[in-house]
Amino acid sequence: MNIIHHQNHLSITTALSHLTTPTPSYSVRRIRAEYLAATKNGPTSPQCDFLSFRPFSPDHLFDIIGTIAGPVGSPYEGGIFHIHIRIPALYPDLPPICTFMTKIWHPNVGPYGEVCLNILQDEWSQALSVRTVLLSISAMLGDPGMAVEGGNAVYGFANVEAGSMWMGNPGVFEMAARDWTRMYA
C-alpha cells in the first residue's frame, strides 16, 4: 500500500494544482477539502494505512479510484481492491456511487461490482465522506456476515449466490472468497 499512497498523493496534489474554477460550487469545494485532508500528512503518513483514493485524472475530480487492502483475518486478506467512486453533482447532498473494479465474491457486491451498502442508500449523511465510505466498505469486507444480515433484511443480496452460500455454508463461502481474492486481487 505504500507505493499506492505515494502515487495517490502525487495524483491528488497534481489534480488540486490544476483546479482553476473561479467560483467553485459547494460540491467542488467539498471534494477539494476531502482531497486536502487525505494528503495533509504527506504520502508516508496516510490517514489510514489500509485505504487510499485519488482522482482518475487531474481533470476529473469527481471520478475517483479508491483502493482498499483486504482486511486482516478476512477471506480478502492479501488482496488489493480497487473501487470506482463517482461523485454526483449534488454531492454531499447525494451519496457517491461505488463499483468494485476488482472482481470480488461478496454477498453485497453485485455481478457488475455494484456495492449494496446502507450508507450509500437511505442512510447517507452529509457528514460522511469518500474516506468514511471506503472505511465502511472495508468493514463490510472484514465481516461478510454483517453485510448479509443487514442486506438480507432490507435490501436483499447484491450477489444472491454468495449470500445464500454464506448463510448455508460459511466455510465454503470463505474458500470461494479466498480463491477469488487470489485470482483477481
Instruction: Check: CB of residue 138 under 8 Å from CB of residue 131.
Output: no
Q: Which of 51, 87, 116, 141 is catalytic?
A: 116
Q: How far apart are CA 157 and CA 167, in angstroms?
A: 11
In three-state form (DSSP H/G/I as H, E/B as E, the rest C), the secondary structure along 103-133 is CCCCCCECCCCEECCHHHCCCCCCCCCHHHH
Q: How far apart are CA 153 and CA 138, in angstroms?
A: 21
pLDDT for res 11: 84
**pTM for the complete prediction?**
0.88
pLDDT for res 19: 73
CA 182 to chain centre: 19
CATH number at residue 11: 3.10.110.10
Judged on CB neighbours under 10 Å (0-12, 13-18, 19+), 114 is middle
List average pLDDT for each run of 10 residues in the chain, which is 185 residues long.
Answer: 80 78 81 88 68 89 95 96 96 96 96 92 93 94 68 64 91 97 97
- The total number of structural domains in the chain stands at 1
Q: Which domain holds residue 61?
A: 3-184
48 labelled catalytic: no
pLDDT for res 1: 79
Instruction: Check: CB of residue 144 under 8 Å from CB of residue 106.
Output: yes
